[in-house]
Structure 1
Amino acid sequence: MLDIAIIGGGPAGLSAAINGVIRNKKVKIFGNDITTSYLYKAEKIDNYIGMMGATGQEMMESFLGHAKEMNVEIENKKVLEIFNMGDFYMLNAENEFIEAKTVILANGITKASSVEGEEAFLGRGVSYCATCDGPLYRGKTVALIGDSAHAEEDVNYLNEVCEKVYYIPLYKNVGSLGERVEVVSGKPKAVEGEGVVNKLVLKDGELDVSGVFIIKESIPTTQLLKGLEIDEKAIKVNRFMETNMPGVYAAGDCTGRPYQVAKAVGEGATAALQAVSYLHTKDKVSK
Structure 2
Amino acid sequence: MLDIAIIGSGPAGLSAAINGVIRNKEVKVFGTDPEKSSYLRKAEKIDNYLGMPGISGEEMIRKFVEHAKEMGVQFHSGRVIQIFQMDDYFTLNVENEFIDAKTIILANGIVNEKAIEGETEFLGRGVSYCATCDGPLYRGKTAVLVGDSEAAEEDVNYLAEVCEKVYYVPLHKKTEKVDSRVEVIHDKPVAIEGEETVKTLKLKDNEELNVNGVFIIKDTVPTTQLLQGIEIVDKAIKVNQYMETNLKGVYAAGDCTGRPFQVAKAVGQGTTAALQAVSYLHKNS
| Same fold, TM-score > 0.5, yes or no | yes
The alignment status of 1:22 with 2:14, answered yes or no, reads no
Distance in 2 of aligned mates of 1:77 and 1:39: 20
- Code of the aligned partner of 2:103: T
- Code of the aligned partner of 1:119: T
The structure 1 segments of at least 4 consecutive aligned residues displaced by more than 6 Å after TM superposition are: none
Q: Which residue of 2 aligns with 1:33?
A: 33
Of 261, 275, 278, the match for 1:276: 278
Q: Secondary structure of 2:151's partner?
A: helix
Q: Which residue of 2 aligns with 1:3?
A: 3
Distance in 1 of aligned mates of 2:216 and 2:44: 30
Q: Which residue of 2 aligns with 1:67?
A: 68
CA contact (8 A) 2:113 2:235 kept: no
Distance in 1 of aligned mates of 2:89 and 2:113: 30
Distance in 1 of aligned mates of 2:141 and 2:43: 41
Distance in 2 of aligned mates of 1:43 and 1:138: 46
Q: Secondary structure of 2:245's partner?
A: coil
- Provide Cα deviations, 1:96-139, integer angstroms capped at 9, x if missing partner: 11111100000111247310111111111111111111111111
CA contact (8 A) 2:142 2:166 kept: yes
1:199 Cα offset (Å): 0.3
More displaced, 39-48 or 245-254? 39-48
Q: Secondary structure of 2:284's partner?
A: helix
CA contact (8 A) 2:4 2:28 kept: yes
CA contact (8 A) 1:112 1:216 kept: no
1:200 Cα offset (Å): 0.3
- Code of the aligned partner of 1:281: K
In structure 2, runs of 5+ residues without a counterpart are none
- Code of the aligned partner of 1:258: P
Q: Secondary structure of 1:149's partner?
A: coil
Q: Which residue of 2 aligns with 1:241?
A: 243
1:231 Cα offset (Å): 0.7
- Provide Cα deviations, 1:194-235, integer angstroms capped at 9, x if missing partner: 110010000022100110100001000001111111111110
CA contact (8 A) 1:4 1:103 kept: yes
Distance in 2 of aligned mates of 1:167 and 1:113: 20
Q: Secondary structure of 1:132's partner?
A: helix
- Code of the aligned partner of 1:8: G
Distance in 2 of aligned mates of 1:113 and 1:45: 30
1:192 Cα offset (Å): 0.6
Alignment of 1:76-87 (within 5 A): 76-87=77-88
Q: Secondary structure of 2:198's partner?
A: strand
1:42 Cα offset (Å): 1.9
Q: Secondary structure of 2:29's partner?
A: strand
Q: Secondary structure of 1:81's partner?
A: strand
Q: Which residue of 2 aligns with 1:128?
A: 129
In structure 1, runs of 5+ residues without a counterpart are none
Q: Which residue of 1 aligns with 2:232?
A: 230
- Provide Cα deviations, 1:43-75, integer angstroms capped at 9, x if missing partner: 222211112222211111110000000110000
Alignment of 1:99-248 (within 5 A): 99-111=100-112, 113-204=114-205, 205-248=207-250
Distance in 1 of aligned mates of 2:135 and 2:256: 29
CA contact (8 A) 2:107 2:254 kept: yes
Q: Which residue of 2 aligns with 1:43?
A: 44
CA contact (8 A) 1:90 1:99 kept: yes
Distance in 1 of aligned mates of 2:281 and 2:111: 30
Q: Secondary structure of 1:218's partner?
A: coil
In angstroms, what is the RMSD of aligned CA positions? 1.0
- TM-score for the superposition, normalised by structure 1: 0.97
Distance in 1 of aligned mates of 2:272 and 2:145: 38
Distance in 2 of aligned mates of 1:235 and 1:226: 12
Aligned positions, number: 283
CA contact (8 A) 1:137 1:161 kept: yes
Percent of paired sites with the same residue: 69
1:9 Cα offset (Å): 0.4
